[in-house]
Amino acid sequence: MSATVDDIEIREEAAQRRRAAIRRYAKHPGFVIGACGILVLLVVALLAPWLAPHSPTRTDLMNTLAPPSATYWLGTDQFGRDVLSRLIYGAQVSLQVGFFVVLISLSAGTILGAVAGYAGGWVERALVAAIDILLAFPSFLLALALVAARGNTLDSIIVAVAIAYTPRVAAVMRSVVLTIRPRPFIEASRAIGLSPWKIILRHIIPNALPPVIVVATVSAATAILAEAGLSFLGLGVQPPTPTWGNVIAEGQTSITTNPLISLSAGLCIAFTVIVLNLLGDGLRDTLDPQMRRNTGKLL
Amino acid sequence: MTAATFELRGLTAAVPGETGAVRLVEEVSLSVSAGETLAVVGESGSGKTVTFTSALGLLPKPGRVIEGQALYNGTDLLSLAPESLRRVRGAQIGMVFQDPLTGLNPVFRVGDQIAEVLRAHLSIGRREARERAVQLLARVQIPDPARRVHDYPHQFSGGMRQRVLIAMAIALGPRVLIADEPTTALDVTVQAQILDLLSELREEEGMAMVLITHDLGVVARQADRIAVMYSGRVVETGRVDEVFRAPRHPYTISLFRSIPDLDAPAGTMLAPIAGAPPDPQRRPSGCAFAPRCFAAREADGCMSRRPLLTDEGHAVACHRQGMLEQAA
């Protein structure tokens, strides 16, 4: 290589930019709390077999509905299962749902919205009509109907919730694309002979992603909530698999005597939703240059 | 004269309006040959840009070409399938746009964007495309190109970005280069550099160049031939020296009168053209320029008949032509 000095300088410049970006994120308390919260949840979910003091499905019939003790930190449910262990394993289900729903609805919604926004004409009208119909339909009911039709395995729950949330991403994506389409570099890419697909993938989507990522983060929270709701109704992942929704539902029978069972699962859900929303807000503030001035405020 | 590399014949483009199609450009015929620069002049909204975007199939919907041909080396671009037209654009006919500040995608490195043009039309690898991007940056006289390929558009000045866009336009050695007001957004000293670069490239590559501008000074310096457009039509066209020596259309004459003259005595007022160009939806039935024209006369049909472009080398579309020449 001839330009070694240049290369080093380029690398230094890039490193500087990266440091500046990291500093921007670090200064945003909401982002930091959200990111740490997600990290904690991830660690808990991944290390569940080591962290959980008991098996989540092992029943201790001598100790049903036990109050918190040194053996069972959060007590046991009516089958004598350790509530804490069930919550720890429940994080696995919730995070899987959140992750895969976002993965599916983000990819599908991005493509649909970008195609609708870029193509215009009847393609756009047809896609927008479809998106609007799905948006007008309550997404939880839609997910409920899809689960009822497809059966309640984890896969089908993820697919159902993802289908219900795709139109949101698509609608946001399209509106952002509409602001990008008239920009001169899009016309320039057409003038240099790029194909429509290349323009969408290389020029439209990368410029439209920041707001869509924010929507996706927040819909991870609603997806987790939706899964908990389905579980609570008995349409989610079936017992004895521990999910937070299942734990709430099972704790319901003894809610007057042992409110801690349902309450602790509810707090898990609330915690997850809050940290995901904080993360989403943090991303919104840091990804959008116009919002950067207001960063740092929590509320 | 050699056969034209790029020729428009009777091009008419329109958008749907409330009362039928609104014709943005009407019966535009122009041609440009290899090694030659054609300047297309006219005020904002006269159809300069629409003429060429529609010829290349780039007119935004719902606009469309309703008549005419756009011939590139004898092939009518408007009859090509979108896919074949796409292969001509960029590769055979390059375009440089008005606003270099927004003409580049802000999220990608400059080198990658140049490489993208190459890879869209040629089957070459990433590495080779990158190397050629460096050569192209050198070609448009960007200092330290090996390093600048890694930069993002915001790290370039306006003039430098226009150089990058020119590099993208000439990347595949096009035979025709269409420059749409390439210097309007730039400051004066940079304007001259960009124009010099364009004419240098045109000479070296033997390209046919179309220079869309509203700056008559630029025309005088750069162009071989000129076409003056008014309200969607070509009203006068000819060799630059002829048109500048003896403009024949009242609009062209008025344009020259409205240029500030440094030798004029202090206190001399400029002679602007009164009024504004007509809305394409409500063009007068006669000559579109008649309401603003110093020579218009009903007796000659200025208000009722549309004047047609004469068939000569220095052509003009005006009913009062004979009278004006006698007066001169």
Give the CATH number, domain containing residue A30: 1.10.3720.10
Residue with tokens 């964007």: B113
Angstrom distance (rounded) from CA B226 to CA B211 = 9
In a domain, A296, yes or no: no
Cα–Cα distance, A228 to A143 (Å, whole number): 12
Token code pair at residue A178: 């509409």
pLDDT band at A151 (very low <50, low <70, confident <90, very high): confident
Cross-chain residue pair A195–B120, CB shorter than 8 Å:
yes
The mean per-residue pLDDT over the stretch A136-143 comes to 85
Q: What's the pLDDT at A241? A: 82
Angstroms from A186 CA to nearest CA on chain B: 8
Distance from CA of B112 to the nearest CA of A (A): 11
Q: At residue B318, what is the residue type?
A: C
d(CA A97, CA A143): 13
- pLDDT, residue A6, reads 59
- Please state the rounded mean pLDDT for residues A201-226: 87
Q: In the 3-class helix/strand/coil scheme, how is B276-320 assigned residue by residue?
A: CCCCHHHCCCCCCCHHHCCCCCHHHCCCCCCCCCCCCCCEECCCC
Cβ of A192 within 8 Å of Cβ of B104? The answer is no
| Model pLDDT for residues B25-71, shown as the tens digit of each residue | 999 999 999 999 999 998 888 889 999 999 998 888 788 899 999 99
Mutate to test the interface with B, among A10, A185, A187, A195 (most CBs of B within 10 A): A185
Q: What is the distance, to the nearest Å, from the Cα of residue A49 to the centroid of all Cα atoms in its chain?
A: 23
**A-chain residues near B146 (CB < 8 A):** 3, 6
Nearest to B104 among A3, A6, A185 (CB): A185
**Cα separation of B78 and B100, whole Å?**
28
Q: Which of B52, B93, B105 to mutate to test the interface with A (most CBs of A within 10 A)?
A: B105
Chain A hits for B144, Cβ within 8 Å: 6
Q: Are A181 and A118 in contact (CB under 8 A)?
A: yes
CA–CA separation, B157 vs B100, rounded Å? 9
Amino acid present at B232:
G
Inter-chain residue contact A202 with B150, CB threshold 8 Å: no
Domain range holding A266? 22-288
Domain assignment present for A78: yes
Give the pLDDT confidence score for residue B1 in this predicted structure: 46
> Minimal CA–CA distance to B177: which of B193, B201, B213, B158?
B201
Tally of domains within chain A = 1
Residues of chain A positioned with their CB less than 8 A from the CB of B165: 188
Q: Which helix (H) or strand (E) holds B246?
A: none
Query: What is the C-alpha to C-alpha distance for residues B124 and A250, in angstroms, rounded to an integer?
Result: 62
Q: How many CB pairs under 8 A join A and B?
A: 76
Residues of A in contact with B103 (CB under 8 A): 184-185, 188
A292 has pLDDT over 60: no
Name the residue among B263, B207, B216 with its Cα closest to residue B240. B216
Q: Are B242 and B315 in contact (CB under 8 A)?
A: no
- As a whole number of angstroms, the distance between CA B254 and CA B271 comes to 8
CA distance A207 to A202: 9
User: Residue B31 and residue B205: Cα distance in Å, rounded?
Assistant: 18
User: Chain B, 152-211: which have a CB under 8 Å from a chain A CB?
Assistant: 165, 168-169, 171
Contact B99 A184 (CB under 8 A): yes
Q: Flag whether A16 is in a domain.
A: no
Distance CA A115, CA A113 (A): 6
The reply to whether A70 falls in a domain is yes
Map out the domains of chain B as residue ranges.
Answer: 6-104+156-261+268-327
Helix (H) or strand (E) holding B115: helix B110-121
Q: Are the beta carbons of B147 and A9 separated by less than 8 Å?
A: yes
**What b/e sequence results for A243-276 when a residue is b if at least 16 CB atoms lie within 10 Å of its CB, and e otherwise?**
bbbbbbbbbeebeeebebbbebbbebbeebbebb
CA distance B249 to B226: 13
Whether A12 is covered by a domain: the verdict is no
The neighbour count for residue A52, using CB atoms within 10 Å, is 18
Enumerate the residues of chain A whose CB falls inside 8 A of the CB of residue B185. Answer: none
* Tens digits of pLDDT across chain B (328 residues): 457 899 999 999 999 888 888 899 999 999 999 999 999 998 888 889 999 999 998 888 788 899 999 999 989 999 999 889 988 988 899 999 888 888 898 888 999 999 988 988 888 988 999 999 999 999 999 999 999 999 999 889 888 999 999 999 999 999 999 999 888 888 888 888 999 999 999 999 999 999 999 888 889 888 999 999 999 999 999 999 999 998 999 999 988 888 887 787 887 777 788 888 888 888 888 889 988 888 888 878 888 888 888 877 889 998 888 777 766 5
Helix A121-136 to helix A154-180 angle, to the nearest 10 degrees? 130
CA A137 to CA A141: how far, in whole Å?
8
Q: Least CB-CB distance to A3: which of B86, B117, B146?
A: B146
The length of chain A, given as a count of residues: 299
Q: CA-CA distance, B97 to B92, in Å (whole number)?
A: 16
CATH number of B6-104+156-261+268-327: 3.40.50.300
In a domain, A17, yes or no: no
